Amino acid sequence: MGFERTSDPLALVGLLQLVSPALPIGAFAWSQGLESAFELGWVDDEESLGEWLAGVLDDGLMHCELPLLARLQSAWARGDRHALQYWNDWLLANRETRELAEEDMRLGQALKRLLGDLELLPDAGWLPQRPVYVTLFAWVAEQRGIATGDAQLGFAWAWLENQLAAACKALPLGQTAAQRLVERLRPRLVTAVDTANQLADDELGPILPGLALASALHETQYSRLFRS
């Protein structure tokens, strides 16, 4: 791996807690356009699901959430309020549908409530206005001494796990098929983190027109399992 590793076992356990599907923030309720892709027939089996996820990882997370997580964690470490607000707003501005923006804000609100209950929020005045999920994820990673590369890898893993859970609910896709996709995509998670950390600011931004269209169409989908 080309990034720094977390050496503190307690920090590693903290990362596992942060990316656990048991974390009560409701991430399981969102499919990020995937449910519409099923309905439209764009994704209908293991192979097409793998291609969709690889595309979202390479053209989405690798150019958006993962490099933003590094920038936000660095801003928390430096105590740079301007950078925190700038990158938080940048992320919201790059959400192409109401559904995608709402997911960021709702998950951010849920994580903020949880951190408040655990007495882990930053001091008053430090949170950006309308803090999104990635911003708060970066705060916890920095507070727990989690190396940036490991925080990014954990974030990408949580995304993949959630997408596969959504697919298993909405497609005739068994758990073994999901695990085959994990094996297929694990190396791409590492590559995505390495690549994300080499990108300059002017190289950032998701290029996911299909996902944006699927997310927009999801608002009027006749039958839905996931939030819109």
Total domains, the chain: 1
Instruction: Indicate whether 224 belongs to any domain.
Output: no
| CA pair distance 58, 62, nearest whole angstrom | 5
Report which of 185, 173, 212 is spatially closest to residue 32, judged by C-alpha positions. 212
pLDDT value of position 127:
92
- Whether residue 153 contacts residue 190, with contact meaning beta carbons closer than 8 Å, is answered with yes
For residues 168 and 174, give the distance between their C-alpha atoms in angstroms, rounded to a whole number.
6
- Look up the pTM and report it: 0.91
Q: Is 94 helix (H, G, I), strand (E, B) or coil?
A: coil
Let me know if residue 2 belongs to a domain.
Answer: no
Burial string for 84-99 (b: 16+ CB within 10 Å, else e) reads bbebbeebbebbbbeb
Q: Is residue 183 part of a domain?
A: yes
Is residue 137 situated within a structural domain? yes
Q: How far apart are CA 219 and CA 170, in angstroms?
A: 17
Nearest residue to 145 via CA among 35, 12, 56, 46: 12
Going by the DSSP 8-state scheme, the letter that residue 226 receives in this structure is S
Predicted local confidence at residue 1, as pLDDT: 43
Element (H, E) at 17: helix 9-19
Give the per-residue pLDDT at 226: 47
Q: Is residue 174 part of a domain?
A: yes
In a domain, 111, yes or no: yes
Residue 6 lies in a domain: no
End-to-end CA distance of the chain: 37
Q: What is the CATH number of the domain that holds 189?
A: 1.10.4190.10
Q: How far is CA 100 from CA 96, 115, 185, 214, in A?
A: 7, 23, 23, 11
The burial of 130, by beta-carbon neighbours within 10 Å (0-12 exposed, 13-18 middle, 19 or more buried), is given as middle
Q: Please enumerate in sequence order all residues whose Cβ is within 8 A of that of 107, keeping only pairs 6 or more positions apart, or say none.
A: 25, 26, 27, 30, 132, 133
Domain-located, residue 228: no
Q: Which domain holds residue 117?
A: 11-17+31-218
Series of mean pLDDT values for 10-residue runs along the chain (228 residues): 70 92 75 78 91 94 97 97 97 89 88 94 90 96 95 95 85 88 96 97 92 74 51
Say how far residue 219 (Cα) sits from the centre of its chain: 21
